[in-house]
Amino acid sequence: MRWECSRGIPASVGSTLARLNDDRQPKLSAELGELGLIERLTTRFGPAPAGETWAGDDAAVVRCPAETLLFATDLLVEGVDFDLGWCSGADVGWKAIAANVSDLAAMGGRPSAAVVAVGLGTGPSPALVDGLAEGMASASKRWHLGLVGGDLSGSGEVSVSVAMIGAPGPGGPVYRSGARPGDAICVTGALGGATEGLRLLRAGARGSDDPATARLIRRQLRPAARLDEGTALGGAGVSSMIDVSDGLLADLGHLLDASAAGCDLLPTAIPVDPDLVAVTERWPESRPGPANGAGAEPLTSALTGGEDFELLFTIEEGRLAELGPLVEAGVSRIGTVTRGGRFVGRRAFEEWEQQGWDHLRPR
Ligand SMILES: [Mg+2]
């Protein structure tokens, strides 16, 4: 990979082309050549605007969106983050982009360009490659960023790693570290749906014609990054922000660690996904109990379930009223920053988390 001048962003579709002709990987090269993988990927990701060069050279050349850049990456690995038994390549491609967009949104910024590295597993199929490309292309279009280059290789498992740059908002990046005692703690949208969607997928519910079930599965497979909300919140001067990828309590824990603060959350104020509540009420007997590590109660799922990609933030109490009209997804005020411990109601975070589950835990 060659690094261009300081205004250039490295990306290396060119090295992929070199690899395709590299006889150290004869089997994969033959398969890749036969499938025309590069064409399948690159034809979807253009054209580059005037003055930029995307795929097709040693590195992509893009304009810097700002003097100070936001730069994020996220890795999805088969068997850890997804299972091709219950999701498609397009779902994986979409989520790989969405997770990065969400991270930039959580800084109050907006994405401009991304590169992707794909491990195709041991037996890449045209459907998988087409799906990955389609999912990444549609998510990139959705959030108006350029997918400017990438690399492919054979691998033990399928993996997708996206690196993304973007620009902070006019007020600069919003950090996790700015929460102060007395600030209101708020979250956009609703929580727990993505975790419930995962549970439903594992139970074989994909393709269900029940609307609530379908929406929950979609929250897991096609998450919506809160990009416009992040821009609006950054512009409104929130004191700290993070996206909910690991779960509300885990991510609030990260924010409070960075801010050296505690919190009191009100259990009844947590915005539990209404579809999660509906599905739970319909089939209570099918739900796993806390003993096997899964969240039995909707509130526990909302507190500990990951991948909702909502935005969690703090703001001075007196400025809360300004936010409502700015945030399309809606905002729930769920608690207050304190100098003390971390509680939901009278129970410490740890007690709730013991009932939840960790998406990195082996399955
Ligand atoms: Mg994040």
pLDDT digits (tens, 9 = 90+) for 162-184: 999 999 999 899 999 999 999 99
126 alpha carbon to ligand 1 midpoint, in Å? 32
Q: How far is the CA of 246 from the centre of ligand 1 (A)?
A: 8
Question: Residue 102 C-alpha to ligand 1 middle, in angstroms?
Answer: 7
Q: Which has the higher per-residue pLDDT, 29 or 46?
A: 46
Percentage of residues in the chain with pLDDT exceeding 70? Answer: 83
HSE, side-chain direction, 13 A CA sphere, residue 37: 28
Tell me the CA–centroid distance for residue 105 and ligand 1, in Å: 9
Q: Which two tokens stand for residue 86?
A: 């219950």
Q: How far is the CA of 249 from the centre of ligand 1 (A)?
A: 13
pLDDT tens track for 197-209:
999 999 999 999 9
- Taking the centre of ligand 1 as the mean of its atom positions, its distance from the CA of residue 145, in whole angstroms, is 18
Measured in angstroms, how far is the CA atom of residue 243 from the centroid of ligand 1? 5
* Cα 242 to middle of ligand 1, angstroms: 6
CA of 115 to the centre of ligand 1 (A): 18
Distance 72 CA to ligand 1 centre (A): 9
Are 32 and 152 in contact by the 8 Å Cβ rule? The answer is yes
Residue 287: predicted pLDDT? 60
SS3 284: helix
Candidate from 5-9, 37-41, 112-116, 346-350 with smallest mean pLDDT: 5-9
DSSP code, position 166:
E
| Cα 76 to ligand 1 centre (Å) | 14
Q: Is the pTM of this model over 0.85?
A: yes
Cβ-based neighbour number of residue 360 at 10 Å: 10
Q: How many whole angstroms from 137 Cα to the centroid of ligand 1?
A: 22
Please report, rounded to a whole number, the percentage of residues in the chain having pLDDT higher than 90.
67
Report the alpha-carbon angle 345-348-351, nearest 5.
Answer: 110
User: How far apart are the CA of 41 and the centre of ligand 1, in A?
Assistant: 27
356: confidence class by pLDDT, cuts 50, 70, 90: low
Ligand 1 centroid to Cα of residue 30, in Å, is 38
Q: What is the pLDDT of residues 278-299, one digit of tens each?
A: 998 876 655 655 443 344 589 9
Whether the Cβ atoms of residue 150 and residue 117 lie closer than 8 Å to each other? yes
In degrees to the nearest 10, what's the CA dihedral of 8, 9, 12, 14? -20
Peptide bond into 267 cis (omega under 30): no
Task: Give yes or no for a contact between 149 and 59, defined as CB atoms under 8 angstroms apart.
Answer: yes
**Gap from CA of 305 to ligand 1 centroid (Å):** 15
The Å distance, Cα 70 to ligand 1 centre, comes to 12
Q: Is a pLDDT exceeding 50 seen at residue 344?
A: yes
Enclosing H/E stretch for 112: strand 110-120
Average pLDDT over residues 112-128: 88
Tokens, residue 307:
């991948």
Q: Compute the distance from residue 208 Cα to the ligand 1 centre, in Å.
A: 31
pLDDT in tens, 232-285: 999 999 999 999 999 999 999 999 999 999 999 999 999 999 999 999 887 665
Check residues 125 and 331 and name the one with the higher pLDDT.
331
What pLDDT does residue 264 have? 98
**285-324 burial: b if 16+ Cβ within 10 Å, else e:** eeeeeeeeebbbebbbbbbbbbbbbbbbbbbeeeeeeebe
Q: How confident is the model at residue 44 (pLDDT cuts 50, 70, 90)?
A: confident
Domains, in order of start, for the chain: 13-167 (3.30.1330.10), 176-353 (3.90.650.10)
Report CA(166)–ligand 1 centroid distance (Å): 14
40 CA → ligand 1 middle, Å: 30
Query: Residue 106 Cα, ligand 1 centroid: separation in angstroms?
Result: 7
* CA of residue 226 to ligand 1 center, whole Å: 12
Q: How far is the CA of 193 from the centre of ligand 1 (A)?
A: 18
Alpha carbon distances (Å) from 348 to 146, 153, 277, 300, 305: 43, 45, 24, 13, 17
